[in-house]
């Protein structure tokens, strides 16, 4: 499998009145052609900032890429000018945002919003672009596309709008589709439909997907691999099986443990105490240590490196050091893991 995207030691800071907010602090990951990588983590962990950096859409004066490379098909996107990025955005890499109610232009016909990218990137005539737009609407499951194409966003429901947003993102057959919590704003049945749609589309188009969410249930459903982010870093990374059956980082245990399941009449949820650190002054050592009941002394002093567990599985916790005490996940999380093993990840 060849790497489509490789992010190396990415660091992004925001310059604010209060000082420098270190939103992303040295992130490394890659996405292979055609696979789905899920990025999970609490609010504020830096998921959206990471994807904005890939898109070249970080807010202009405040944000700064302090270091790192974003290699897309071998070319470093960090070095590209805004003009060059415009050619890539919407063509090779496109994006689906969280809130479908506000991510479409209210005064532009839906068809025109889809056609815009086609005309710009593929040089289609308006007639050709219109034809393609009808096909796209059909592909994302919107009935009567020839009629719908001439309507405005307010004439669509939330789920339908997200389908339109997906159609816009798919218009130019991107190699990479970034979906930043595409289902969070939708109700549960619609969520499931949109996820199905995205899986279908991936089968048809073979584009790679970065899927951002804080819902692990969704992850099990769509992802091939998972990156768990905490306080601007990736703390654990592995295949879906690695993460669900053999999680190693206490933060991942916390995420799994706090995941509601169908038969949660059982024991108490293993919730993560406390709140994420202030990225204005990131803590010394392991950022998760203050919330981690398994924290070792070294956690407060020195940041853990990435330990390799297998070919695909990595985690940044001192618990994996050869001299560390052997600690098992909490019983409730273990039970959860066994449950996943039985149901194949479906919570």
Partner 1 sequence: MVRYVLRRVVYMLITLFIIATLSFFLMKMLPGSPLNAEDKLSEEQKQIVLEKYGLNDPVPVQYVNYLAGLVKGDLGISFAFSNTPVTDILMDRIGPSAQLGAQALVVGTILGVLLGLIAAVFHNGFLDYTSTIIAVIGTSIPNFVFAGILQYFFASELQWFPVALWGDFKHTVLPTMALMIFPMATAARFVRTEMVEVMGSNYIKTARAKGIGEVGIVFKHGLRNALIPLITVIGPMAVSLMTGSMVIEQIFAIPGIGEQFVNSVIMNDYPTIMGTTLLFAALFVAIILIIDLLYGLIDPRIRIGGNNS
Ligand X SMILES: Nc1ncnc2c1ncn2[C@@H]1O[C@H](COP(=O)(O)OP(=O)(O)OP(=O)(O)O)[C@@H](O)[C@H]1O
Q: Which is nearer to ligand X, 23 or 93 (CB)?
A: 23
- Distance between CA atoms of residues 274 and 251, nearest Å: 12
Residues 265-294 that bind ligand X (CB under 6 A): 279
Q: In this structure, how many other beta carbons lie within 10 angstroms of the beta carbon of residue 45?
A: 26
Stretch that binds Mg ion, among 41-49, 80-88, 111-119, 266-274 (CB under 5 A): 41-49
Q: Which two tokens stand for residue 37?
A: 């990588």
Q: Which is nearer to ligand X, 57 or 71 (CB)?
A: 57
* One character per residue 128-167, x = contact with partner 1 (rule: CB under 8 A): ------------------------x-x----------x--
Q: Which is nearer to ligand X, 47 or 132 (CB)?
A: 47
- Distance between CA atoms of residues 261 and 339, nearest Å: 10
Task: Name 215's Cβ contacts closer than 8 Å, sequence gap at least 6.
Answer: 40, 183, 184
- Distance between CA atoms of residues 47 and 70, nearest Å: 15
Assign 110 to helix, strand or coil: helix
Q: Does 48 bind Mg ion (CB under 5 A)?
A: yes
**In angstroms, what is the minimal distance from the CB of 159 to partner 1?**
17
Q: Which is nearer to ligand X, 58 or 306 (CB)?
A: 58
The residues that bridge with 37 in the sheet, in sequence order, are: 210, 225
- Please give the C-alpha separations between residue 59 and each of 48, 282, 338, in angstroms, as whole numbers: 12, 22, 43
According to DSSP, residue 320 is labeled G
What does 152 interact with, of ligand X, partner 1, Mg ion, none (CB < 5 to 8 A by kind)?
partner 1
Q: Does 44 bind ligand X (CB under 6 A)?
A: yes
Q: Does 62 bind ligand X (CB under 6 A)?
A: yes
Q: Does 50 bind Mg ion (CB under 5 A)?
A: no
Assign 178 to helix, strand or coil: strand
Residues 167-196 that bind partner 1 (CB under 8 A): 168-169
Burial class (CB in 10 A: 0-12, 13-18, 19+), 266: exposed
Q: Does 202 bind Mg ion (CB under 5 A)?
A: no
Q: Which two tokens stand for residue 164?
A: 């339109």
The answer to whether 156 and 164 are in contact (CB under 8 A) is: yes
Residue nearest to Mg ion (CB): 48
CA dihedral angle for residue 218, residue 224, residue 230, residue 234, rounded to 10 degrees: -170
Stretch that binds partner 1, among 117-125, 187-195, 234-242, 339-347 (CB under 8 A): 117-125
Q: What does the binding site for Mg ion look like in residue numbers (CB under 5 A)?
A: 48
Q: What does the binding site for partner 1 look like in residue numbers (CB under 8 A)?
A: 55, 57, 82-83, 85-91, 94-95, 97, 99, 102-108, 113, 116-117, 120-121, 152, 154, 165, 168-169
Q: What does the binding site for ligand X look like in residue numbers (CB under 6 A)?
A: 14, 16, 21, 23, 41, 43-49, 59, 62, 214, 279
């Amino acid at each position: 499998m060849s790497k489509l995207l490789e992010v190396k030691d990415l660091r992004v800071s925001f310059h604010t009145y209060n000082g420098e907010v270190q939103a992303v602090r040295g992130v490394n990951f890659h996405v292979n052609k055609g696979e789905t990588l899920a990025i999970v983590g609490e609010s504020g962990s830096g998921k959206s900032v990471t994807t904005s950096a890939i898109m070249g859409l970080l807010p202009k004066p405040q944000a700064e890429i302090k270091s790192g490379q974003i290699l897309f098909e071998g070319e470093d996107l960090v070095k590209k000018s805004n003009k060059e990025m415009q050619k890539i955005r919407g063509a090779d890499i496109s994006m689906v945002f969280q809130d479908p109610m506000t991510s479409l232009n209210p005064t532009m016909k839906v068809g025109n919003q889809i056609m815009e990218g086609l005309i710009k990137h593929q040089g289609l005539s308006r007639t050709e672009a219109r034809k393609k737009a009808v096909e796209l609407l059909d592909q994302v499951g919107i009935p009567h596309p020839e009629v719908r194409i001439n309507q405005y966003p307010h004439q669509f429901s939330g789920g339908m709008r997200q389908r339109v947003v997906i159609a816009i993102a798919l218009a130019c057959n991107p190699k990479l589709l970034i979906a930043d919590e595409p289902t969070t704003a939708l109700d549960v049945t619609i969520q499931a439909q949109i996820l199905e749609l995205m899986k279908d589309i991936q089968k048809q188009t073979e584009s790679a997907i970065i899927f951002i969410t804080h819902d692990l249930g969704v992850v099990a459903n769509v992802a091939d691999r998972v990156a768990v982010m905490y306080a601007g870093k990736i703390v654990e990374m592995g295949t879906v099986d690695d993460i669900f059956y053999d999680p190693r980082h206490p933060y991942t245990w916390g995420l799994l443990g706090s995941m509601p399941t169908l038969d949660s009449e059982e024991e108490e949820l293993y919730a993560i105490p406390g709140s994420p650190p202030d990225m204005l002054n990131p803590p010394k050592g392991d950022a998760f240590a203050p919330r981690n009941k398994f924290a070792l002394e070294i956690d407060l002093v020195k940041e853990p490196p990435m330990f390799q567990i297998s070919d695909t599985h990595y985690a940044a916790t001192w618990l994996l050091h050869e001299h560390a005490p052997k600690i098992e996940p909490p019983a409730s999380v273990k039970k959860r893991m066994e449950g996943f093993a039985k149901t194949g990840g479906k919570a």
